[in-house]
Chain A
Amino acid sequence: MADSPLFEFVSDRLESASGVQLSRLQCRGVVRKALKTAGLSPERVTVAQMRVVLERVFPETLARNGVSPTDATRLVSTLLTRLDSAQQSGRLEGEAPEDIFKRLDASRRNK
């Protein structure tokens, strides 16, 4: 299954921000593992969900992959900043399965 542009974006930015510490394959694996821990999939993660994962799950996942706590904090901070600026373009937003329920509920409330 094709991964979402958001997953690709975060994996790519992690690779460039980590320098030589993590390979491309490792970066994708780390992001995938962090999403799985949060019950999310790389195909349909939204920006809001990714932000929570980066803040709350990512430091621990990076640590498990041999990244020091100081470097992990720096990487998370860099990724959050880049996510914020990329979000302005609106190209990264995915759709979660429950969005159909949200639209239905909103339409019922507006009646």
Chain B
Amino acid sequence: MDLFTRASGLMTLAIELITGVRLLALAMKTRRLPETALGVAFTCGAGTNAWFLIAALLFPEAPPEIEIALWGLSYLGLTMSLYIGVWRVFRPTSVVVRTIGFLLAATLTVLLVTELAGINRAFYQGVWNGLYDEVQAYAITATMAWAGIESALYYRDLRRQIALGLSENVFAARFRLWSYASVAWVLFHVFLFSRRHGLLSLEFARPTMTLLALIGSVLIYVTFLPPDWLQRRWSSEP
């Protein structure tokens, strides 16, 4: 790993961790599901980066199974908690979203357990990296795309609400940023997917993905914890 990749990876990890921990601290006080789920999601998001970095920096000789297990669990936590967070924030009463969530959680858990136990390896050996990796990549990309679409749609709704004095610019701007962050994260996973299937070279994919992850995490941080000067600027916008 070059210096840029390591530095960007560490920054992404730190930013995601700060955002996740701040949301979890709020959840401890409010006991509400949206902040709990999103706090776990961003903390697990940091975890997916952390295991690779810790393994690469501190334990280069660690058995790959341990890294795979930690990575798999982090990704499962990230996907399901993000799904729950988006569901509770945008579609809290939807039975369809809740049913899909249960099915997704069950599918991913079964795939991860069988992956770790080495049961399903016989089906894909030499074809894919792993069935869990494959399904997981689709699931997280779809969930992030869904978060982006919901944010963008709600941003449009908020513009109408603002015209009636029902909401404020500061919230519309934050949903707009959330949708931009989702675009960055979806692109990150598209690149990850393309790289995994050999469609992109490592030299091109790695720095681009690192940059996209950093942009995504900074945008998420500003969405949830915007500095006061930015909030004032948003408030003064027409």
Contacts and interface: CB of A to CB of B under 8 A. Distances in A.
A14 B154 CA distance: 27
17 contacts: A1-B93, A1-B97, A4-B93, A39-B166, A40-B166, A43-B92, A52-B165, A57-B164, A98-B175, A100-B32, A100-B38, A100-B89, A101-B171, A103-B30, A103-B32, A104-B23, A107-B29
Interface string A12-38: 000000000000000000000000011
| Contact-size category for B | 35 or more
Interface of B: 22-23, 25-26, 29-30, 32, 34-35, 38, 89-97, 154, 156-161, 163-167, 171, 174-175, 224-225, 231
A49 interface: yes
A39 B161 contact: yes
Nearest to B167: A98
B26 A39 contact: no
B93 A43 contact: yes
Contacts of B32: 100, 103
Contact of A103 (B26, B95, B157, B159): B26
Contacts of B174: 98, 101
Given A1-B93, A4-B93, A97-B175, 16 more contacts: A2-B93, A38-B160, A39-B158, A40-B157, A43-B93, A52-B164, A52-B166, A53-B164, A97-B90, A97-B154, A98-B158, A98-B175, A100-B35, A105-B231, A107-B26, A107-B29
